Chain A
Amino acid sequence: MPLDTSTYSLALLRLDGRRWNELRRLHAQISTQAAADGSSYLEMGNTKVLCTVSGPHEGKAGGAGGGPRSTQAKIEVEISFAGFSGVERKKRQAKDKRTSEMSHTLTQSLAALLLTHLYPHSTITIHLSILSQDGSLLAACINAATLALIDAGIPMTDYLCACTTAAPPTSAETEAGGDPLLDLNGQEEQELPFLTVATVGKGHAVSVLIMESRVRMEKVEGMLAVGVEGCKRVREILDKVVKEHGKRFA
């Protein structure tokens, strides 16, 4: 495993030449599809995600009759993986457990972020297409969804930006030291325990924190701190993209 060998601790360079605190190339475009209410395309390294938002519009369960009418907009998130997104071609079921977990996380965090009380009895539908997977998938989805929602003109209190961090790799030389790694690619995610963190705005308000592997308790704080820093940087990049877009069309 590349990170466990001594080459990392010698040069402190990861396989793709990054240091511990460097983000991958983040390329984002907003308003990529004219036909949708809001759309965005985001690449974090080789992870490519396309997001479209439609709404707010009248939900399928409709306002006419039926159950109690809600005072807030309902948010629906659909995620679909393209068959060619992984190295091996694999067709994912729509109701796959992992996919449902991801969409549930997104629904919860976006419901807390968006000012849904402004659109009672309506539904906002968010559709994410994963075109290529190479690590930090949930983070890329969150970032793409934020951009697409901004494009659709749905009010939110601030940007919701996400990234991943991993526990520092242990080896004989770096015992207590070692910095947590920022923005993992596919290979690194398989080797190391990692977490995905999303923050609202420039501050330290953490909205999403997901960890699926085991790590020693002492390391979590460090990972979180690096993650929050990373999210700040992601926010700057996304903000620049939105402002550039605004300059052209305002």
Chain B
Amino acid sequence: MPISILPPSPQEVPSHTDRYVSDSDEEMADAGDNDFTSSNSHSIVTPGETITSDPQWMRGHGTYIPPNSTTIISTLAGTLQKTNKLLSVTPLRARYAPEIGDLVVGRIVNVQAKKWMVDIGAAQLASLPLSAINLPGGILRRRTAVDELNIRTFFSEGDLLVAEVQMLHQDGGASLHTRSLKYGKLRNGLFTSLAGAGGGGAKRNGSGGVVRSRRQAFTLQTTAGEIDIVLGVNGYIFVSKHTITAGDEKDASITRLEESVSETLYSSENDVVPKDLMREIVRVGTLIRGLVLCSRSVDEEMVVRCYEVAVEMEAEENVMGDVLVGQGAKSIVENILLRIESGV
């Protein structure tokens, strides 16, 4: 059926059983701490709700102390987090807030005198100074005026790159750098983002969004070849054909790094990607989009499992002749998730 128009869905209730339950809440409740309004790990705090009046607690993100009082009230709708003596509220949905050391995928929005402004899906554009990228010719090469004039040969408007947050300005804006062999311009692949349907940027408590603690750049083995997947913490994701970076092959020591800076680092030209590999790359992209629509967290384990099950299911369908064409990404992933949860 080439076109499927479905009746509007009732508000769905996600029914996953492996939800991350806040252990600390229950411990605290057992310790007889009666100051908190909601010790039930399933309920959230809402703006204006008093969390505690106990002056021993310090307030973190998402909280507010009205003047002339020691009451801590929440300013967001989200879950309460207690770390030692710090109280903070993590929102259910929020824009990505950059932290130092985050691996992010970004898109160049404009080019200025000695830097680029990069969109990373945060409240402000991030800056990438010219001094923070690897220039072909070696790490220790000096930036010259010629480099400034040719700034567009490195990155131009619309280019995708993977970078790390180097520092944060006073106002919360980020400054990026690509000074490692695994960072740089992205090509040979597809871009998707978690923002948009289903996701609201990266959420930190694992119920949707990219999780910071897991591995973010990994390689997937497929029948058609190897696929590199980069999951940016900011919710931007890039799926591409595996490129062998020089860092993989030889042990690049610091003194010899300049020799390893590849010539193709700033290339805008794609390699020839075989048709099968292209198909697999597109498949992974679709699966990730489906995971987002099902409000699941996107991490290495999830993506690999989904991919394996998807390949299995397609093989079965072809054998049994029961091909379900025309389904959206969401329903495909729903089927896969059902299978994972019931079977394995």
Residues of A within 8 A of B (CB): 29, 31, 34-35, 37-38, 55-58, 63-64, 71, 73, 115, 118-122, 150-153, 155-159, 201-202, 239, 242-243, 245-250
Shortest B3–chain A CB gap in Å is 21
Which partner residue on chain B sits nearest A123 by CB separation?
A: B123
**The 4 A-B residue pairs with the shortest CB-CB distance in the complex, in nearest-first order:** A158-B48, A153-B94, A246-B44, A155-B75
How far is A158 from B125 in the complex, measured between Cα atoms in Å?
Answer: 29
Residues of chain B lying within 8 A (CB to CB) of residue A56: 95, 123
Rounded to whole angstroms, the CA-CA distance of A159 and B112 in the bound complex is 41
B290 within 8 A of A: no
> What does the 1/0 interface line of B48-90 toward A look like (CB < 8 Å)?
1000000000000010101000000101111100000000000
- Which residues of chain A are within 8 angstroms of B44 by Cβ–Cβ distance? 242-243, 246-247, 250
Contacts of B208 in A (CB 8 A): 249
Contact of A156 with B75 in the complex, beta carbons under 8 Å: yes
* Residues of B within 8 A of A (CB-CB), count: 42
- Whether a CB of chain A sits under 8 angstroms from the CB of B117 is yes
B124 A115 Cβ-Cβ under 8 A:
no
B250 within 8 A of A: no
Shortest beta-carbon distance from B77 to chain A in Å = 5
B interface residues (Cβ-Cβ under 8 A, vs A): 11, 13-14, 42-44, 46-48, 62, 64, 66, 73, 75-79, 91-95, 110, 112, 117, 119, 123-125, 171-173, 196-198, 200-201, 207-208, 293, 295
Contact for A202 among B48, B119, B123, B198, CB less than 8 A:
B48
- Cα(A250)–Cα(B203), bound, Å: 11
**Which of A121, A157, A248 contacts B48 (CB under 8 A)?**
A157
Known contacts A37-B93, A55-B123; 13 further A-B pairs (Cβ under 8 A) = A38-B93, A55-B95, A115-B75, A121-B171, A121-B173, A122-B123, A153-B76, A155-B64, A155-B76, A159-B47, A201-B48, A246-B92, A249-B14
A113's nearest neighbour on chain B, judged by CB, is: B47
CB distance from A184 to the nearest CB of B (A): 26
Instruction: For residue B173, give the distance in angstroms from its CB to the closest CB of chain A.
Output: 7
